[in-house]
Amino acid sequence: MNIDISADEPVTLKEIDLTIPTYGVAKPEKNPMFLEDRVYQGSSGKTYPFPVTERVFDEKHDKTYKAVILENKYIQITFLPELGGRIYRILDKTNNYDFVYYNHVIKPALVGLAGPWISGGIEFNWPQHHRPDTFSPVNYYTKINSDGSKTIWMSDIDQMNGTKILVGFTMYPDKAYLKVDETFSNPTDLPQTFLWWANPAVPVNENTQSIFPPDVNTVFDHGKRAVSDFPIATGEYYKVDYSEGVDISRYKNVPVPTSYMAAKSKYDFLGNYDHQKEAGLLHVADHHTSPGKKQWTWGHGDFGQSWDHQLTDNDGPYIELMVGTFTDNQPDFSWLNPHEEKHSTEYFMPYKAVGAVKNATINAAVNLEKDGDTILIAAYATSVFSNAQVILEKEDEVLLNEKTTLSPIETFTTTIQNDQFELHELTLKVLDQDENVLVQYTPEPEKIEAIPDAAKAIPNPKDIKTNDELFNAGQHLEQYRHASFRPENYYLEGLKRDKFDKRINDAYGLLPYRQGLFVESEKYFRRALERQNNHNTNPVSGFPSYHLGLSLEKQGKYAEAYDAFYKATWSADTKSVSFVAMAKIKIRENDLDNALKFINQALLFNYNDLTARAIKAHILILMKSDQAEKFLKDSLEIDNSASAVLFEYSKINPDYLDTLKHFIDTRLNDVLDLVQLYLETGQYADALSALNIYEDDNPLKSYYESYIYSKLDSQEQVLASAKLGASLSPDYIFPNRLFDVIILEYMQNINPKDGLAPYYLGNLYYDRRIYQKAQALWEKSVKLDPDYAMSYRNLSIVYYNKTNQPKKALEYLEKAFKLDPKNARLVFELDSLYQKMNHSLTDRLAFLEKHLDLVEQRDDSYIQLVTLLNETGRYKEAYQKLMDRIFHPWEGGEGKVSSQYEYALVELAKQDIANENYTTAIEKLNRALVYPRSLGEGKLPTANNNVIDFYLGYAYKQINDTQQANEHLRLATQGLEKPSSAMYYNDQPSDTIFYQGLAFEQLGQTKEANGKFHALISYGEKHIFDNFEMDYFAVSLPDALLFKDNHKSLNVIDCYYLIALGYLGLNQVDKAHTMMDKITELTNNHQGMLRHCSFKKFSL
């Protein structure tokens, strides 16, 4: 493309309909999902109140999206607000290069927290990784700026915790970069956590390299649980042996799914480069606020190719080059205090013909490298710099000083010959014509640096020495949203040791408060104050007083709350939010003068607090002040999507109501945020007006409406709205806010015949781990509405998981299915419960076959069907079922389909061997080594095929192919060195050691064989009494299982199994069968036991 760099061309911004071939997804599950123990990206994988989508489709259709395009003469950027606000495509027009991965189809896979996720472009992850609504629309608006730039603003409010993101994407007329401004805010009254990882995907091939800053010599895994040197890895990382020294910055050298994150860097850039196309992507941001620098790959191999196939049709592999703001690892969350906001800015840009960049700014990028006696110098600029200077110095000696024009089109490159000095003695500078430094780089001398230690798990509470450490541990677990370690265990241990510990009481009190247990929380805040005020009634921190005020306010004790808030204004950390709380109380009392005084005090300390601004505007309008409109305009300059500000402005100019509806009229969660503000200030007419912005029927809307009418003394409408809410569909109604507790408690009093209000409140309480309240409410719901299936289903979860009543759990789940016989998820859950309760394999199989139409709607049910076919000896049917379907595994959940594929083919091959059909057996076993694409899984290069190789060795021996027999037996001896617990998809199962022993035995290496068998027995006997503990650093356990496993029992079963295999190997068959009988007493569906219960050694 011919581009005139001297021409003045404006930025264009246009909204278009963009048609993209799109693969469909199923409707989200209407069943509430209480995934308490799910691990996702190293932190909690809970999804409530989001519905989960568990199926994606294999058919594509053209779909039209509302796209927004920013374009100048250098780059063109396409945004898709409908899909999480992601950037879909960025094209460098100067060389027609897509410098982020351009996926020509929308092809969701089950990677996101709530299901569907797509690859390509740039995904912006907040407030946790792979944002919960990555596949959902976000709000946006556009703005033309006075300097000729144009901005797309996007905003979103997190349904889980109520934080808000506002992101501005700005393009300038003469700059080859995109500027991204982020504002992270917490409009709630409680501290919240968040992270921000911008996630650009870049295309990769044999010639691509990730360009980390030159000072990055160490990288961490998730949670800093493992560490590797970089870029040349020399140890084991992700179970791959890199001991020979492997450059893991090169995509082609990383064979398995791998994450790595820079341990630290003083540089402000991250990038990638295609050495063949001589082009790449750069990201630039201040490393003080954006320290996160990460690469992720599916791996260069069959496993990665399988995921490529899941996510695109023809666009091939990619890697993710993630950049973290206020975070340097995953998970690594930061705090936002109540009404706090944080800001950051980052830039994305293309570059070309520079090579491996050594430093970059938003203006320019440089490379400086030495090859023998030749020194390469390269410089690229993001805009036109005429008469720029490229200077290479050695101390005071100028080795090169060239004037040149730098631009997004013209890259400067040159070489000089010199063998008199080392690179670290040089400094490369790029100056503009006024001698301002655009970028510079001084290589650091090579030196040996200590490799940081990997992180260590937090000990159990009783093993921690001090209360200070217990407090820090609890805070960490809260902050990082840990999936299995509970902060309350650490706080309660601290309170056992010191009942009045100020910090722990204050921290622990917030836990019941967040659960809606306001009275319970009050006593802990009062204890914190008792200790804090023991010698000093004027403490440095006001948080205990502020938290007490919140608790009292929620209990309707406004006078006491006012006093607590007022005391909290004495401390800077709670001054602003306490003045806001006091202003709300004064509005409720119609004391507008004091309300205005307090809200002005709040804004003195927190100018951008949009909640405070909306309250001030409300007061000014009530006081009929002529300052209101200007104040509202100024507030919208901060955030044009601020709902409460827009609502107040609509009282002056009704046009702003249309703007507000554009943002929130289809988003009940956002509407209720607005309604809650007016309920908290006692402005019930405004609350009703705000509620009516949401025009669809919804039970929660009607319940809120009833509550508001009660405050307006409209008694007839109170009951009418309550009855309407009770009559509406309960599908997808998952209450989550603290004010919902107040509303739903009220509804049970106003309409005691409503069976759904207690059901909804039970959902909320169960999600917050208040199990007894949830149980009581669901039992109440069943009595009031005995025909509603979901209350029975939820009670089955309580009875099985919490009250140890498995028979009752089953009774209630069967009742739920009887009431809702088309609910495919209930079939899966019922079979899972049948399995845990040891129902016969044939009965389970008959149940699934009876409901085959529902089974076929879900991969997990279908896999259960295939597994049961294998376990009942119907291997041919199992194999055919596998071949009849295209599977879509969850990320991290791979192995379920492929294991049944291998199992069926190995068992069929064993039948052929028994019938002396050795050639047919060999064909099946070789088939088992290769996964068809339809399985949705690829094979990891680290996977060993001990079982398959052992039987191949035997079959080849029978046809007198000694060479092949010995080769496969040798392969069968390799793999896992010693038994271990297999938890993740890439863990090698310990029973493969049994086949290693058998292979050694058949190769005549009896000593090695017996060593393997004894290792199995020793491991089983040593670990059979272990207490199970979840891996503290677990990264991905995606199973959406509602009924909890008995991990202690599973460990016992696993140990019996390994002991049995060891005895089988040693020909102590009676002892082996004794162990298998013990397994059978505990479970009838241990597939390994079923395979080996009639095992006989082959005589080779």
Mean pLDDT for 496-517 is 98
- Residue at 676: amino acid letter: Q
Residue 62 has pLDDT above 80, yes or no: yes
Q: pLDDT tens, 1056-1071? A: 999 999 999 999 999 9
The number of CA neighbours under 13 Å toward the Cβ of 727 is 7
Q: pLDDT tens, 600-617? A: 999 999 999 999 999 999
1038 pLDDT band, cuts 50/70/90, is confident
Give 1054-1074 as a 3 state SS string: HHHHHHHHHHHHCCCHHHHHH
Closest C-alpha among 987, 981, 967 to residue 1036: 987
Helix 668-680 to helix 738-750 angle (10° resolution) is 80
What pLDDT is recorded for position 166? 98
User: What pTM was estimated for this model as a whole?
Assistant: 0.96
Q: Which two tokens stand for residue 637?
A: 């300059």
Mean pLDDT for 705-724 is 97
Burial state string for 495-511 with b = 16 or more CB within 10 A and e = fewer than 16: beeeeebbbbbbbbbbb
**Cβ contacts of 790 within 8 Å, gap of 6 or more:** 31, 32, 730, 759, 816, 820
Burial state string for 637-661 with b = 16 or more CB within 10 A and e = fewer than 16: ebbbbbbbbbbbbbbeeeebbebbb
Q: What is the Cα–Cα distance from 186 to 190, expressed in whole angstroms? A: 8
Closest C-alpha among 482, 420, 560 to residue 38: 482
Q: Are 882 and 897 in contact (CB under 8 A)?
A: yes
665 pLDDT band, cuts 50/70/90, is confident
Count of CB atoms within 10 A of residue 967's CB? 15
- Residue at 812: amino acid letter: Y
How far is the CA of 653 from the CAs of 143, 401, 626, 629, 644, in angstroms? 20, 61, 14, 9, 14
Q: Which of 74-78, 138-142, 965-969, 982-986 has the lowest mean pLDDT?
A: 982-986
Residue 1 has pLDDT above 60, yes or no: no
Q: Are 271 and 360 in contact (CB under 8 A)?
A: yes
Helix (H) or strand (E) holding 764: helix 756-767
Q: Which of 726-730, 987-991, 1057-1061 has the lowest mean pLDDT?
A: 987-991
Q: What is the Cα–Cα distance from 433 to 384, expressed in whole angstroms? A: 11
Mean pLDDT for 143-168 is 97
Mean pLDDT for 774-779 is 99
Secondary structure (DSSP) of 372-421: TTEEEEEEEESS-EEEEEEEEEETTEEEEEEEEEE-SS--EEEEEE--SS
Cis peptide before 127 (omega within 30 of 0): yes
What are the structural domain ranges in the chain? Answer: 12-352, 359-441, 858-939, 949-1100
209 pLDDT band, cuts 50/70/90, is very high
How far is the CA of 982 from the CAs of 482, 946, 1067, in angstroms? 21, 16, 26
User: In this structure, are strands 334-336 and 192-194 parallel, antiparallel, or unpaired?
Assistant: antiparallel
Mean pLDDT for 205-217 is 98
Give 700-754 as a 3 state SS string: HHHHHHHHHHHHCCCHHHHHHHHHHHHHCCCCCCCCCCHHHHHHHHHHHHHCCCC
Closest C-alpha among 697, 696, 679, 680 to residue 688: 679
Q: φ and ψ at 432, to 5 degrees?
A: -85, -175
Q: What is the Cα–Cα distance from 888 to 310, expressed in whole angstroms? A: 7
Mean pLDDT for 316-320 is 98
What pLDDT is recorded for position 1100? 43
The number of CA neighbours under 13 Å toward the Cβ of 723 is 6
Specify which residues 523 forms β-bridges with. Answer: none
What proportion of the chain, given as a percentage, has pLDDT over 90? 93
- What is residue 58's three-state secondary structure? strand
What pLDDT is recorded for position 402? 97
What pLDDT is recorded for position 1040? 59
Q: What is the Cα–Cα distance from 171 to 531, expressed in whole angstroms? A: 54
Residue 668 has pLDDT above 50, yes or no: yes
- What is residue 698's three-state secondary structure? coil
Query: So what CATH class is 12-352?
Result: mainly beta
- Residue at 434: amino acid letter: D
How far is the CA of 239 from the CAs of 278, 914, 1012, in angstroms? 33, 37, 21
Q: What is the Cα–Cα distance from 183 to 191, expressed in whole angstroms? A: 16
How far is the CA of 522 from the CAs of 105, 506, 764, in angstroms? 54, 10, 21
| CATH dotted code for 359-441 | 2.60.40.1930
* Helix runs in 539-574, H state only: 543-554, 558-568
Helix 896-914 to helix 859-871 angle (10° resolution) is 20
What pLDDT is recorded for position 1031? 87
Tokens 């119609």 sit at which residue? Answer: 590
Burial state string for 304-333 with b = 16 or more CB within 10 A and e = fewer than 16: bbbbbebbbeebebbbbbbbbbbbbbbbbb
* Helix runs in 856-945, H state only: 859-871, 875-883, 896-914, 918-928
Helix (H) or strand (E) holding 318: strand 318-325
**What's the angle, vertex CA 323, arms to CA 318 and CA 325, rounded to 5?**
155
Sign, CA dihedral 518-520-524-529, equals: positive
Mean pLDDT for 558-564 is 98
Identify the residue with better confidence: 267 or 1: 267
Q: Rg of the Cα trace of the chain? A: 32
Q: Are 35 and 45 in contact (CB under 8 A)?
A: yes
**Cβ contacts of 24 within 8 Å, gap of 6 or more:** 56, 57, 59, 60, 61
Q: What is the Cα–Cα distance from 151 to 82, expressed in whole angstroms? A: 17
Q: φ and ψ at 197, to 5 degrees?
A: -120, 110
Q: pLDDT tens, 621-663? A: 999 999 999 999 999 999 999 999 999 999 999 999 999 999 9
Sign, CA dihedral 689-690-691-694, equals: positive
Q: pLDDT tens, 914-962? A: 999 999 999 999 999 999 999 999 999 989 899 999 999 999 999 999 9
Count of CB atoms within 10 A of residue 245's CB? 9
Closest C-alpha among 152, 150, 128, 125 to residue 141: 152
Specify which residues 200 forms β-bridges with. Answer: 122
Q: Are 169 and 179 in contact (CB under 8 A)?
A: yes
Q: Which two tokens stand for residue 786?
A: 């005995």
203 pLDDT band, cuts 50/70/90, is very high
6 pLDDT band, cuts 50/70/90, is low
Residue 11 has pLDDT above 70, yes or no: yes
How far is the CA of 461 from the CAs of 467, 474, 479, 490, 494, in angstroms? 10, 9, 17, 5, 8
Q: Which of 129-138, 302-311, 710-719 has the lowest mean pLDDT?
A: 129-138
Q: What is the Cα–Cα distance from 883 to 887, expressed in whole angstroms? A: 10
Average pLDDT over the chain reads 96
